[in-house]
Amino acid sequence: MTHLFEWLRKLLTPPKAFSWQTLILLSLFSCILSFFATDTVQNILATFGWIFLIWGVAWGTSEKPFYINDVCLSPWITGALVCVFIFGGWSDGRPSLSLIWWPSVSGVIATIPEFIEKGLKIRIPPLASRQKIIVLWTSHFLVSCWIQFYFVVQTWLNQYPSLLIDNVTPSAFVVKVGSQPPRSPRGALILNLMEPQLLTQLDNQPWSYIERWLLNQQQQIEDTRKLVQKELPQAEEDLWWRFDSKILSSQSGYNLQLLAFWQGPRSKEEVYVIEKLCQINQVDLEAENPASDPSTSIVGTFKCSPAGSIRWVNSNKSDLTP
């Protein structure tokens, strides 16, 4: 532990007044001061702290450059600091501008020495180094484009979350890396969210009310679905979900079949469908409660099983019996 402190102290003591160590110490000083300050002064002090830190690191790493296999890494460190300063942190979830611009900024920083000659004057770089500068800038900007493409794909997946269910193996552009927890497509989510709504509408209601409801079934389910979709965050892929419902009679009542068809980007020619089965059963309360009113004694119960997994069907087949 003391070794570490000794090494740090040796590294950071300035050999003369104007050197990179002073700058780093100045930036530390500004940071500490900014803790005790209020709004505007705090911002100014923090900015100065950053500027000193960047300047100090740039100077220090150019005097003692980091090399891995003959590739100089010091502009990348300075570039990272500049990007974090200008664009904020490396947060994922939204396109991280600082990560995207990091290679380009590092490339520019690596070529800054060509633009400055002795005495800190700005010059147009000599012929001999211009070719190197152009190749450096363009190759680093290309790496930035690649990183930006990654974030574009991420934006697409935010709008089309159901695509992750599907098989991305035939793709010539992307590959699925790592194992993820099994996800359910958005259609299954919507169907499952419709269940509590339908429950309040249909459970323990008089049978006559249920029969009237079932006459208008398509419209009722459509309205419920629209309500549910409004609650969820907007996603562009909703344009390709088609919902349907079917009533089938069973011996104790009716079976309500809710269907969600995915007709958007998919890996096969066929369409896939998710279905959710609900039972509406007739229950006679008169047996338990003989004194109750006959017209309301027959009620219906509503019970659903969770939405099933995806099933590929031929898109021409419109009749889907379970």
Partner 1 sequence: MLTPLFPVQTILFQFLFLLIAIAIEGYVLHWKLNLGRKNSIQYATSINLISTIVGWLIFFFIEGQLSPSLRAQMISYIFFDRFFNAPVSSFSSFIFSAGIAMFFAAFLIKYISLDILQFLLQNPTTNTNNPPQNQSRKNRLSKFRIYGSANQEISKATVVLLANAFSHSAMLALLIVRSL
Footprint of partner 1 (CB under 8 A): 92-93, 127, 130-131, 134-135, 138-139, 141-142, 145-146, 148-150, 152-154, 156-157, 160, 163-164, 166-168, 170-178, 180, 236-237, 239-240, 263-267
Q: Least distance (Å) from partner 1 to the CB of residue 175?
A: 5
Q: Which of 187, 316, 192 has its CA nearest to residue 262?
A: 187
Report the greatest alpha carbon distance in the chain: 105
Of 77 and 163, nearer to partner 1 (C-beta) is 163
Tokens in use for 295?
């017209």
Return the structure tokens found at 40. 């505007």
Could you tell me the smallest distance in angstroms from the CB atom of residue 30 to partner 1?
34
Q: Which two tokens stand for residue 287?
A: 């047996």
Least distance (Å) between residue 166 CB and partner 1:
7
3-state secondary structure of 90: coil
| Strand 253-262 relative to strand 241-250, pairing | antiparallel
For partner 1, which is the closer residue by CB, 34 or 104?
104
Q: Which is nearer to partner 1, 93 or 322 (CB)?
A: 93
DSSP conformation class of 225: H
Compare residues 153 and 248 and give the one whose CB is closer to partner 1: 153
Q: Specify the residue, 174 or 248, whose C-beta has the smaller distance to partner 1.
A: 174
Give the separation between CA 186 and CA 210, rounded to whole angstroms: 28
Helices 39-63, 74-87: inter-axial angle, 10-degree rounding: 170
Q: Give Cβ neighbours of residue 228 (< 8 Å, ≥ 6 apart).
A: 190, 193, 194, 197
Work out how close the CB of 85 gets to partner 1 at its nearest, in angstroms, rounded to a whole number. 24
- Cβ 59 to partner 1 shortest distance, Å: 30
Shortest Å distance, C-beta 68 to partner 1: 20
Q: Which two tokens stand for residue 285?
A: 């309360």
